[in-house]
Structure 1
Amino acid sequence: MKKSDRSVTIKDIAREAGVSISTVSFAFNGTAPVAQETKERIFEVIKRLNYQPNSAARGLVTRKTNNICLFTPHPASDFFSFSGNSVFSDLLQGIGDVLDQRDYNLLIAWDNLGHKAKTPKLVKLMRERAMDGVLIALPSHDSSVIEELSEHQFPMVIVGTNDRKNQINSVDVDNYDIGYRNTKHMLGLGHSRIAFISPGPLEFLVCEDRLEGYRDALQEAGIKYREDYVFIGDEKEHSGYRAASSFLSLKETPTAVVSGRDIQAVGVLEYARENGLSVPNDLALISFENTELAQKYNITSSTTDLYEIGKEGAKLLHKVLTRKKDRSAQNVVIASELIIRSSCGAKPKS
């Protein structure tokens, strides 16, 4: 074969090796048995002609794209301000590390209209076979897209939300349990007037789950739930400051606060400092996330490892894609640990 500027095709390989195009495809992709001598001849030609396979064409044969899609809400939505850029990047890194090891490409898609669109973007990607599977970061209650993908038995895993009710593969921490345990920790230290700061709007499942855990721990202890002891926060330090201001302006002030996130807890500390209050003597404090802020400000905090959630989500999706038999959905719960520091009043573990 004469050298030219055009790319070498599978037809060229077949002609040089003296076999059919399908035999070259079977040898290259391992989709059917090929005699060892024939296979060696084909690969000698591939090496000699420096054949570079076209991934799109290969996908038509194998019905695989080696693309995994991470589907998220629009970057301008409340989800991203709620999660914070660093939290999302941790999730992304966990996913990327696993997919890179397994030679998958990561696509990121979002939908401006979501379920209001006539045909949601994720459904279009599925129908166009643009991806082999999808990881879904869906923080709200809307599950219409998930339901449609489920009907087509399309491989998917939900990350950052536990979906045990709908029997869909999911990976998350148990936010209900963490909310419950954080509140129980404060009850165990003798507090009965315990306030709660939500990490964000209650439309997000993580916020609803943590609040429900808080309420159930109080109810179990025979303590009445108080609306004025609950503050809907956001991703800013000032929301913790405003929450503390609201709680401590009440006639019957709380003696402890379960903060929805570490940055809010920093705001609570700032308010206490400005108003001459001692933490934990006047106001005990516990939080979620266990970020660098918790370590810097000695805040007792429960771990919620987004990197681990992303990593385990990608591993579970790969397992779904490669296993030969259908299995029931797996709901992987990432373990959370309470790191005790000085802010709650308990003695830190050595």
Structure 2
Amino acid sequence: MNKVGRSVTIKDIAREAGVSISTVSFAFNGTAPVAQETKDRIFEVIKRLNYQPNSAARGLVTRKTNNICLFTPHPASNFFSFAGNSVFSHLLQGIGEVLDQKDYNLLISWDNIGHKAKTPKLIKLMRERAMDGLLICLPNHDSSIIEELSEHHFPVVIIGSNGLKNQVNSVDVDNYDIAFRNTQHMLQLGHTRIAFISPGPLEFLVCEDRLEGYRDALEEAGIRYREDYVFIGDEKERSGYSAAAAFMALKEPPTAIVSGRDIQGVGVIEYAREQGLSIPGDIALISFENSELAEKYGITSVTTDLYEIGKEGAKLLHKLLTRKKDRGAQNIVIPSELIIRASCGVARPSI
């Protein structure tokens, strides 16, 4: 602060060092060459006057905010109850660790439920240059915002499932392939009556992809797809319990279940225990996520690592921000691993 209590500005630095304001900016931000003697003089003044740069003002010069926005559906929406808080925290951890290393700030934003603004919030943020790049969760087929951002060549990476492969940068696991392989695993163990529990409503692309993978695996094996072998679950253990009860009440119940998430698999196990059924003897079980629940209950499950998805998404966006030339869209697929435990019938005795 100077003697009247006013914050030191870049004008003060320029006047004290005997140079132009643009030269101070070039020296401070490294945006143009400045003679070493001049640079030393500028930084001596900066240190002596304890100059604290204003990030907003610096952004006007560099056209950078060092802000990355993560845009998600509204926290009160079906997406968040479907995704679950722990899943979102893993995603945030992966994103946050990378951005912290790269000295970027993370902003989180969403649109209001049921409110359709004339100018969507993301477009306003882009026009106001409130962010340098965008990570976006796009759980359904509405890609209109992405298309508008792409027209402006704004750096965007989709986190999670999307219907825009080869058009927009994205990071996810291959939900279709995992569901296909999970179903195929049960087929290889000799099961032909295989049921499927969706992890959530089919309006979400991840659920649609997993159902399609399950269905195609059956078709490839020459097994008829049955509507009564499909149950639309949610993020609660009870949905797995209800699914198992519905399946086992059928005249021809399944002998194997592909569960959409581990917590649903726990519900299946609880139902089996109540009914005196054996897992995997009466019902073989396989799932997604490979969470702590899978390990605790001995559920065969496939890794779907949200931490890695977040981390790789942030790394990809940073690459877009620092890249000199435009390139084609990258669709990064995080590898998944099948962790075999007792529930599918390959390892150890019944649960």
Report the TM-score, using the length of structure 2 for normalisation.
0.97
Q: Tell me the residue number matched to 2:235.
A: 235
Describe how 1:301-312 pairs up with structure 2 within 5 A: 301-312=301-312
Partner Cα distance (2:185, 2:141) in 1 = 29
Q: Quick check: 1:64 aligned with 2:64?
A: yes
Q: How does 1:153-172 map to 2 (within 5 A)?
A: 153-163=153-163, 165=165, 167-172=167-172
Residue by residue, what CA displacement relative to the aligned partner does 1:25-61 show, whole Å, maximum 9, x if unpaired? 1111111111111011101111111110000000000
Contact 1:200 1:207 in 2 (8 A): yes
Q: Distance in 2 between matches of 1:20 and 1:34?
A: 12
**How many correspondences in the alignment?**
348
1:299-323 CA-partner distances (Å, limit 9, x unpaired): 0000000000000000000000001
Quote how far apart the aligned CAs of 1:116 are. Answer: 3.5
Q: Does 1:282 align with 2:286?
A: no
Contact persistence 2:255–2:283 (CA under 8 A): yes
What is the RMSD of the two structures over their aligned residues, measured on CA atoms? 1.3
- In 1, Cα distance between equivalents of 2:103 and 2:313: 16
Q: Which runs of 5+ in 1 are unaligned?
A: none
Return the letter of the residue paired with 1:41.
R
Q: Does the 8 A contact of 1:263 with 1:293 survive in 2?
A: yes
Q: 2:328 matched to which residue of 1?
A: 328
Residue aligned with 1:116, SS: coil
CA contact (8 A) 1:115 1:145 kept: no
Give secondary structure in 2 for the equivalent of 1:51. Answer: coil
- The answer to whether the 8 Å contact 2:257/2:285 transfers is yes
Distance in 2 (alpha carbons) for counterparts of 1:254 and 1:76: 35
Who is 2:29 aligned against? 29
Question: Which residue number in structure 1 is paired with residue 143 of structure 2?
Answer: 143
Counting only pairs closer than 5 Å after superposition, residues 1-350 of structure 1 correspond to structure 2 as 3-113=3-113, 116-163=116-163, 165=165, 167-347=167-347
Secondary structure of the residue aligned to 2:231 is strand
| Maintained 8 Å contact 2:166/2:329 | no
1:162 shift after superposition: 4.3
Say whether the 8 Å CA contact 2:165–2:331 is kept in structure 1.
no
Matched-pair contact (CA < 8 Å) for 1:162–1:171: no
Q: Using structure 1 for the length normalisation, give the TM-score.
A: 0.97
Determine if contact 1:290/1:339 at 8 Å carries over to the other structure.
Answer: yes
Query: Is the 1:163–1:170 Cα contact (8 Å) retained in structure 2?
Result: no
Rate the CA distance shift 1:115–1:136 in 2: closer, same or farther, 3 A.
Answer: farther
Encode CA deviations 1:195-245: one digit per residue, 9 max, x unaligned: 000000000000000000000000000000000000000000000000000
Amino acid at match of 2:256: A
Partner-residue secondary structure (3-state), 1:224:
coil
Runs of 4+ in 1 over 4 A off after TM superposition: none
Q: Contact 1:175 / 1:209 at 8 angstroms: preserved in 2? A: yes
Report deviation, 1:122: 0.6
CA distance in 2: counterparts of 1:100 and 1:50, whole angstroms: 25
> How far does residue 117 in structure 1 lie from its aligned partner after superposition?
2.6
What percentage of aligned pairs have identical amino acids?
Answer: 84
How far apart are the structure 1 equivalents of 2:53 and 2:282? 68
Q: Is the contact between residue 266 and residue 297 of structure 1 (CA under 8 Å) also seen in structure 2? A: yes
What CA distance in whole angstroms lies between the structure 1 residues aligned with 2:206 and 2:167? 18
Q: Is the 8 A contact 1:10 1:21 kept in 2?
A: yes
- Determine if contact 1:114/1:120 at 8 Å carries over to the other structure: no
